[in-house]
Structure 1
Amino acid sequence: MAMIAATKSSLSFKKIINTIDNLKPVSGRLEQVGIIKNNSKVILDYAHTPDALEASLKSLREQFKYRRISIVFGCGGDRDKAKRPMMGKIANQYCDRIYLTDDNPRHENPKTIRNSIRKNINKSKIYETSNRANAIKKAIFAMKTGDILIVAGKGHEKIQEYKKIKKLFSDQEQILKNIKIKNKTLSSNLKLNILKELSNSNNISLNLEINNASINSKVIKKNNVFFALKGKHKNGNLFVKEALAKGASLAIVNNQKKSKKKIVVKNTLKFLTEASSILRENLSSKIISITGSCGKTSLKELTGRSLGKISQTTYSPKSFNNKFGVPLSLFNLKKNDEFGIFEIGMDKKGEIDYLSKIIKPDVGVITNISYAHIKNFENIKQIALAKSEIIKNIKDDGYLILNRDDKFYNFHKKIALKRNLKILSFSLKNKSATTNLDSISKEKSKYKISININKIKKYFYLTSFFENDLKNLLATITIISIFKDIHKLDKNIFYDHKATNGRGDTMKVKLFKKFFYLVDESYNSNPLSLKSALKNFDMIKVDNSKKHVVLGDMLELGKYSKKLHVEIGKNINKTSLTNINVIGGHVKWIFNNLNKNKRGIVIKKKSQIIDLIKNNLNNNDYLMIKGSNSTGLNSLSNQIKRGKINAL
């Protein structure tokens, strides 16, 4: 309203914008007082009527939806007595903790006033004391990271009235005095404060430096915090000594003795998850969360690297998308990050719900729905339903981005509309999508990709035009468009992006005195990703060279395994690919359904793949390797890249 008034008074809008930062709140009117190192906030407000108190508390609850809100207040004497139980009810509705104390009792008995207020307050929430200074002190010292405290009723007033006595008393001075004392018990490192608060560890130095978190003692760096997690095969508690020796500033452990560098908790994973969730709520970073049957990691990488060129951004490494990787990645957000980008995986119902509740994304993305992990579901619709769990945990007024070409687009859109989320989409074909492909042309070694976004044309350069690369480009542009002006982005911002290891990256390898190109698709395999990989490989143009394929099993397909492997065989018959070699039990269904001219050999052990390279590949030939991670083909591909074939 002030900006409109200033504009109507002939001030330039640019000048108004530049002035906003210099404005200060009116004293005692929803005024933040002081700065607390653990990101908790004390708000001073003059609200002393039911309407005013509700307006203030409602505003705070809307702004800090997931934070604990406490209040210090009372009611004045010799005034409207009917408002007292009403104000108690309002405080009870919006606040997690209530410090009931005296306001200006004047000529009334302070105890009588407080009794009237507390009629509508839950006993479990209330702390009562007549001494207002003690109430403020108690409330401030109880504040944990991110908590909100409102001290209401007196605002800017400098006196307190008891009968005929008017004594000097300022809420603001009491708040500032106690914040100063409290800050001496806190670290300037928000993460350290969270860890100390959660564990009640008073023996840990406030000067300890903490950067990132790690669960791997082999790669830990100086000033990292080591979380000793228990997995199926390894117990991190056995590697604490190694982590500390390598420079870890702190270790979170269980079943060990406390020390200045160890915090002992019952469950290290639960502790990490709680700490990460608290940190998420206390950073202003916009969180983008990606799920789907395939393409999560490659989309996260493209989005993370691209946003990282224009803003401070943290994104989860590799495929850190489970109950270990998600909280670990979240804890590694930095204070000044504008964006955090995380992927969420699942193989069972409820897992995405659990993980997305921790992340609370501002933007959710569902890449596609396929038969990945179908063994734990009755049908593909159940997979779509499990992926939709992310939708209910996107923040209010948040965004959902969907693949317009996916057959479950309308299904997911309908769920999102019930939450009034903003829905954006991307598509290779559908012109009604928010972001869609317009045309592709080649300019020397570059591919010029023209897109339409919100019906305006823009183009960018890529090194390839494979289908999955195009989808990732469209999805990334859609994500960025929420926060940035797409039309100001450099046309080469995506050009230097390289495929993630094991997800289509191509490398020239020298073995047995010859060069060949390894197209590594070995990180994982499901029907959708395999069809895409085969289509991409088929598109590669070669002159006198040959293409060879090694396929491993698609796993976790349950009762659908035979049907889906057979479909892949029939799909390959429609391509120009030949020399299809297979290794594994399920993948034989592909081989048996291939035309004879497309068949290579059935490989019984991985060392035969090296024989295949040695005997069947010529100079400048191409070899694509694809299979589920558990087949071991990813490890083999990495060894081939490093030339460590003797290990095979």
Structure 2
Amino acid sequence: MTPPLFTLDAILAATGGRATGVPATEINAISIDSRELGEDALFVAIKGDRFDGHDFVDTALANGAVAALVGRGEGAGRIVVDDALEGLTDIARAARQRSRGFIVGVTGSVGKTTTKEALRVVFEAAGQTHASIKSFNNHWGVPLMLARMPETAQFGVFEMGMSAPDEIRPLSQLVRPHVAVITTIAPAHLEKLGSLENIARAKAEIFDGVEQGGTAVLNGDHPQIGILLEAATAAGIGKVITYGFARGVDWQITEVETAADRSFATIVHGDERYALALGVAGRHMLANATAALAVSHIAGIEAEVALRALAGFGAQPGRGQRLALGPAEKPLLLIDESYNANTASMQAALDVLASIEPPGGRKVVVLGDMLELGDAAPQLHGGLADAVKASGAERVHLVGTSMAQLAAALPPHLVASHAATIAEAVDGIVADLAYGDAIMVKGSNGVGLSRLVADIKSRFSQS
């Protein structure tokens, strides 16, 4: 019989809370969204930037929550604590304390969600696995994901993000990973951090939570690797594993071949050579998968199990997912990279676009602003011109004020449109498309290109 996620008594012991009129004795789901509640759910009324969960407690209880964790207010069905987010963190701490699973933390400027998903796929092939969903990687997302981890989970994978110093450290100290992965260092969040070196130091905060005897797994393909190695040593991490395309790394990616929707490489580790095949294109995807292969080796998973699992690994929505919309003989090919962007991921996405042949029309790209780059934004946006031209794009649509620099750097005949906002751009871009075209959509999440993706799906899914 499957044990409950938590008993009510365990929740009260973890939080020091006071239950009033809570009839349930078991909690089997934890949510901060009153609209998305699992069976026997605990609703946690955290206060966010736009909403205060306390305003939705009654709705959550009416929608089926068996209890609500609140920082204020009285009434039936409530567990009252000093602060709801702190209460959620206490539950997360209790979940980690009881766990006997192999726990991995993942951070990095680019590729952390994809690497987390690659690890999930590999671990699920070996045993019961719990992993962060979406990009729940911040001060409330990590506690929520950890609190949801079943006691019986054999593997746990948690993504950790940041936009400023001192954000990853408390998350890692909560998760206490056995392995900390840093995917890469790239110009993201320059506005607050100022330099790549400072970004590396902020990412290295993940080492401060690593369990004694744990391991750091680091991408070696960036100039800041020295900073990470020094930080790992300073944090007392005795074992450091490197991976990437660079010579001398512990898990080296060689003999690379990429096709429109496949990638192949030989991974060299000591005297061993492994044939890695992925159902998705891109050198960056090979790097993410190699990180998962290296971590699975540390976890004691046979290489054959990991490689077989990775062979079925594909891109996620907003992160390179491909959709053929409309008639099979001449579809519109949509490559959805709408979730996020910085210079490294832009370059990687445009490299993939270069390998794509449209089903029977033109190659189109929509690029949105890369946000949080500070004073470097104009130069970094304009600097994308060569990669855009090398991609073979015939129509380039640009969205955002910073993309004016790229518009000026590109040949005028390539720039089909430039708008300050997606609201101004979406109708014109959709009208410019036709079945047979291949279109890639890439930009920072705050630009809102997911709206364009949704409109394209709606318009072209009808054959």
Q: Normalising by the residue count of structure 2, what TM-score does the alignment of the two structures yield? A: 0.91
1:269 aligns with 2:85: yes
For residue 297 of structure 2, what is the amino acid of its counterpart?
A: S
Question: Do the aligned residues in 2 keep the contact of 1:449 with 1:462 (CA within 8 Å)?
Answer: no
* In 1, Cα distance between equivalents of 2:217 and 2:102: 15
Deviation sequence 1:218-269 (CA, Å, 0-9, x none): 111221111011111111112112222222222101321143x210122100
Distance apart, 1:541 and its partner CA:
3.0
Question: Do the aligned residues in 1 keep the contact of 2:17 with 2:80 (CA within 8 Å)?
Answer: no
**CA gap 1:487/1:631 in 2 versus in 1, 3 angstroms:** closer
For residue 316 of structure 1, what is the amino acid of its counterpart?
A: S
Which residue of the other structure, out of 309, 312, 315, is the alignment partner of 2:131? 315
Q: Which residue does the alignment assign to 2:221?
A: 405
Which residue of the other structure, out of 394, 411, 429, is the alignment partner of 1:612? 429
Deviation sequence 1:488-520 (CA, Å, 0-9, x none): 426431122221111111112249x98311111
Which residue of the other structure, out of 434, 446, 454, is the alignment partner of 2:250? 434
Deviation sequence 1:523-566 (CA, Å, 0-9, x none): 11111111111111112134753110111111111111111111
**CA gap 1:524/1:433 in 2 versus in 1, 3 angstroms:** same
For residue 244 of structure 2, what is the amino acid of its counterpart?
A: S
For residue 142 of structure 2, what is the amino acid of its counterpart?
A: V
Which residue of the other structure, out of 313, 338, 341, is the alignment partner of 1:522? 338
**CA gap 1:444/1:276 in 2 versus in 1, 3 angstroms:** closer
* In 1, Cα distance between equivalents of 2:455 and 2:136: 22
* In 1, Cα distance between equivalents of 2:35 and 2:460: 21
Distance apart, 1:191 and its partner CA:
5.2
Question: Do the aligned residues in 2 keep the contact of 1:522 with 1:628 (CA within 8 Å)?
Answer: yes
Secondary structure at the aligned position of 2:169 is classed as: helix
Question: Do the aligned residues in 2 keep the contact of 1:191 with 1:279 (CA within 8 Å)?
Answer: no
Question: Do the aligned residues in 2 keep the contact of 1:363 with 1:401 (CA within 8 Å)?
Answer: yes
1:458 aligns with 2:274: yes
Q: Which residue does the alignment assign to 2:49?
A: 232
Please tell me whether Structure 1 or Structure 2 has the larger radius of gyration of its CA atoms.
1
For residue 45 of structure 2, what is the amino acid of its counterpart?
A: A
**CA gap 1:253/1:577 in 2 versus in 1, 3 angstroms:** same
* In 2, Cα distance between equivalents of 1:632 and 1:644: 20
Question: Do the aligned residues in 1 keep the contact of 2:17 with 2:79 (CA within 8 Å)?
Answer: no
Correspondences of 1:54-65 after superposition (within 5 Å): none
1:218 aligns with 2:46: no
Correspondences of 1:618-637 after superposition (within 5 Å): 618-637=434-453
Which residue of the other structure, out of 147, 159, 170, is the alignment partner of 1:343? 159
**CA gap 1:551/1:420 in 2 versus in 1, 3 angstroms:** closer
Aligned length: 455
For residue 242 of structure 2, what is the amino acid of its counterpart?
A: S
Q: Which residue does the alignment assign to 2:104?
A: 288
For residue 613 of structure 1, what is the amino acid of its counterpart?
A: V
Question: Do the aligned residues in 1 keep the contact of 2:364 with 2:440 (CA within 8 Å)?
Answer: yes
* In 2, Cα distance between equivalents of 1:235 and 1:296: 29
* In 1, Cα distance between equivalents of 2:460 and 2:325: 12
Greater relative contact order (Cα < 8 A, sep 6+): 2
Secondary structure at the aligned position of 1:493 is classed as: helix
**CA gap 1:487/1:626 in 2 versus in 1, 3 angstroms:** closer
Question: Do the aligned residues in 1 keep the contact of 2:215 with 2:237 (CA within 8 Å)?
Answer: no
Considering only aligned residues, what root-mean-square deviation do their CA atoms show, in Å?
A: 2.6
**CA gap 1:642/1:219 in 2 versus in 1, 3 angstroms:** farther
**CA gap 1:607/1:328 in 2 versus in 1, 3 angstroms:** same
Q: Which residue does the alignment assign to 1:301?
A: 117
* In 2, Cα distance between equivalents of 1:574 and 1:354: 42
Question: Do the aligned residues in 2 keep the contact of 1:516 with 1:618 (CA within 8 Å)?
Answer: yes
Q: Which residue does the alignment assign to 2:241?
A: 424
For residue 230 of structure 2, what is the amino acid of its counterpart?
A: K
* In 2, Cα distance between equivalents of 1:240 and 1:444: 48
Distance apart, 1:617 and its partner CA:
2.8
Question: Do the aligned residues in 1 keep the contact of 2:4 with 2:28 (CA within 8 Å)?
Answer: no
1:496 aligns with 2:308: no
Question: Do the aligned residues in 1 keep the contact of 2:5 with 2:150 (CA within 8 Å)?
Answer: no
**CA gap 1:486/1:507 in 2 versus in 1, 3 angstroms:** same
* Residue identity (%): 28
Q: Which residue does the alignment assign to 2:291?
A: 475
Deviation sequence 1:37-96 (CA, Å, 0-9, x none): xxxxxxxxxxxxxxxxxxxxxxxxxxxxxxxxxxxxxxxxxxxxxxxxxxxxxxxxxxxx
Q: Normalising by the residue count of structure 1, what TM-score does the alignment of the two structures yield? A: 0.66
* In 1, Cα distance between equivalents of 2:404 and 2:20: 61
* In 2, Cα distance between equivalents of 1:372 and 1:556: 7
Q: Which residue does the alignment assign to 1:582?
A: 398
Q: Which residue does the alignment assign to 1:22?
A: none
Correspondences of 1:43-442 after superposition (within 5 Å): 190=6, 192-197=8-13, 198-201=15-18, 208-259=25-76, 261-418=77-234, 419-430=236-247, 432-440=248-256
Question: Do the aligned residues in 2 keep the contact of 1:569 with 1:589 (CA within 8 Å)?
Answer: no
For residue 532 of structure 1, what is the amino acid of its counterpart?
A: A
* In 2, Cα distance between equivalents of 1:573 and 1:273: 48
* In 1, Cα distance between equivalents of 2:208 and 2:428: 51
Structure 2 unaligned runs (5+)?
none
For residue 224 of structure 1, what is the amino acid of its counterpart?
A: A
Q: Which moved more, 1:235-244 or 1:319-328?
A: 235-244
**CA gap 1:529/1:482 in 2 versus in 1, 3 angstroms:** same
* In 2, Cα distance between equivalents of 1:608 and 1:445: 29
Q: Which moved more, 1:489-498 or 1:550-559?
A: 489-498
**CA gap 1:441/1:292 in 2 versus in 1, 3 angstroms:** closer
Secondary structure at the aligned position of 2:222 is classed as: coil
**CA gap 1:191/1:384 in 2 versus in 1, 3 angstroms:** farther
Secondary structure at the aligned position of 1:426 is classed as: strand
Question: Do the aligned residues in 2 keep the contact of 1:212 with 1:331 (CA within 8 Å)?
Answer: no
* In 2, Cα distance between equivalents of 1:200 and 1:368: 41
Distance apart, 1:340 and its partner CA:
0.8
* In 2, Cα distance between equivalents of 1:420 and 1:199: 34
* In 2, Cα distance between equivalents of 1:357 and 1:441: 39
For residue 449 of structure 1, what is the amino acid of its counterpart?
A: A
For residue 392 of structure 1, what is the amino acid of its counterpart?
A: D
Q: Which residue does the alignment assign to 1:563?
A: 379
* In 2, Cα distance between equivalents of 1:598 and 1:517: 20
**CA gap 1:545/1:210 in 2 versus in 1, 3 angstroms:** same
For residue 225 of structure 2, what is the amino acid of its counterpart?
A: Y
**CA gap 1:603/1:438 in 2 versus in 1, 3 angstroms:** same
* In 1, Cα distance between equivalents of 2:359 and 2:52: 53
